[in-house]
Amino acid sequence: MKILMFGRGTIATLYGWALEKAGHEVEFYVRPGRAATLGSLVDLQIRDGRARRGAAVVQHWPITLREELTARHDYDLIVLSVNHDQLDNAIGFLSPRVGDATVLMFGNVWAEPSAVVSRLPGDQVVWAFPGGGGGFTGSTLRGGVLKNIFMGFCEGSNRTERYQTVRALFKDAGFSVSEQPDFRTWLWIHFIMDAGLLTQGLAVGGQARLVASREAVKQSVLLVREMIPLVQARGGTPGRGAALISRVPAELLGFLLHRLLAGKNLYSFIMEEVERTGHMTRESAGLYARDVLAEARRIGFPMPRLASLETVFAL
């Protein structure tokens, strides 16, 4: 398969590498003028959750950057993994250039998913979310991929041939796919979990401090708990996981989440690399809470706990 990763960001590079290793032809679209600065080599210092014990990968990886994309391209798949506030712009650029490619939406979304992709041909859009992460320092990529990725359906999308092809692409590359039928709600719940953790991280002076404190992790659970009804108010249908967050004592949830975040596992390693590389600035981390609070205010939904931390995440 011929694959275009949109941008040469963290997720695009991690999964571009994994897909190229699985035998596909992978290229990166970067903004005009960026190829020379980015260079055609990435230093990978990552861990691969598909291998035993998340084996380390240290490799100089030559990549192909493209600064141009016309509608007459021959890519089978375009992987769109940009920050949620960059989606509108990226899709505006892509919409007249999609051609016959499948577009894989592969990152955070907080707006209405069907509205986000409304300028793309609906039957060419497939939804997924990465199970990996990290960040760049210069041309060195630190982080990793978990074995699992998430896929699912938003309004108007379903188990089409294109969906099956993308699913098979990842499975054949050694990933396991966790299928979430109501992907719209899944994306929103994931987003508020990011918002809770990132906001509390900002409140205590960084994700490393958050992870070191069971109390701070518990506070992030309370933030997420407050946000779940907002997802419902927007028409989402939070399932069992969200019900657990709402009902299980925060002390216990804080304890369990703290164990996951502070434990020696690939997920906590990846989150440490996000922090260590400075991938999230104060501004980008605060964006999650700003967007959640803006939506709450837009629909008149009270969110006192989050609002009380506004000075922490305001611009």
Ligand X SMILES: CC(C)(CO)C(=O)C(=O)O
Ligand Y SMILES: NC(=O)C1=CN([C@@H]2O[C@H](COP(=O)(O)OP(=O)(O)OC[C@H]3O[C@@H](n4cnc5c(N)ncnc54)[C@H](OP(=O)(O)O)[C@@H]3O)[C@@H](O)[C@H]2O)C=CC1
Residues of the shown chain interacting with ligand Y in the complex, contacts defined by CB under 6 A = 7-12, 31, 34, 81-84, 86, 89-90, 93, 107-108, 130, 133-135, 274, 279
Residue 280 touching ligand X (CB under 6 A): yes
* Chain residue at closest Cβ approach to ligand Y: 9
Among 52, 54, 57, 53, smallest CA distance to 17 is for 57
Among 154, 155, 186, 188, smallest CA distance to 291 is for 188
* Minimum distance of ligand X from residue 233's CB (angstroms): 22
Number of residues that bind ligand X (CB under 6 A): 6
Of 39 and 302, CB closest to ligand Y: 39
Judged by phi (left if over 0) then psi (alpha if -120 to 50, else beta), residue 174 lies in: left
* Minimum distance of ligand X from residue 62's CB (angstroms): 25
Of 169 and 197, CB closest to ligand Y: 197
User: Residue 7: which of ligand X, ligand Y, none does it interact with, CB under 5 to 8 A by kind?
Assistant: ligand Y
* Minimum distance of ligand X from residue 149's CB (angstroms): 13
CA distances from 83 to 108, 229, 259 (A): 7, 24, 28
For 80, the token pair is 């769109």
* Minimum distance of ligand Y from residue 153's CB (angstroms): 19
Residue 153 neighbours by CB under 8 Å, 6+ apart = 127, 159, 163, 181, 182, 183
Among 213, 219, 194, 208, smallest CA distance to 286 is for 194
Residue 291 touching ligand X (CB under 6 A): no
For 148, the token pair is 């699992």
User: Residue 257: which of ligand Y, ligand X, none does it interact with, CB under 5 to 8 A by kind?
Assistant: none
* Minimum distance of ligand Y from residue 251's CB (angstroms): 28
Of 187 and 242, CB closest to ligand Y: 187
- Single residue of 274, 292, 296, 306 touching ligand X by CB under 6 A: 274
State how far the Cα of 11 lies from the Cα of 255, in Å rounded to an integer.
Answer: 29
Alpha-helical segments (H) within the chain = 10-21, 35-38, 87-94, 113-116, 161-172, 183-204, 207-212, 214-233, 240-247, 250-262, 266-276, 282-298, 304-307, 310-313
* Minimum distance of ligand Y from residue 256's CB (angstroms): 21
Of 187 and 293, CB closest to ligand X: 187
- Single residue of 76, 194, 226, 275 touching ligand X by CB under 6 A: 194
Residue 220 touching ligand X (CB under 6 A): no
Among 170, 224, 216, 173, smallest CA distance to 194 is for 224
State how far the Cα of 313 lies from the Cα of 315, in Å rounded to an integer.
Answer: 6
Residue 7 touching ligand X (CB under 6 A): no
* Minimum distance of ligand Y from residue 300's CB (angstroms): 27
For 243, the token pair is 């019900």
Q: Which parts of this chain interact with ligand X (CB under 6 A)?
A: 108, 133, 194, 198, 274, 280
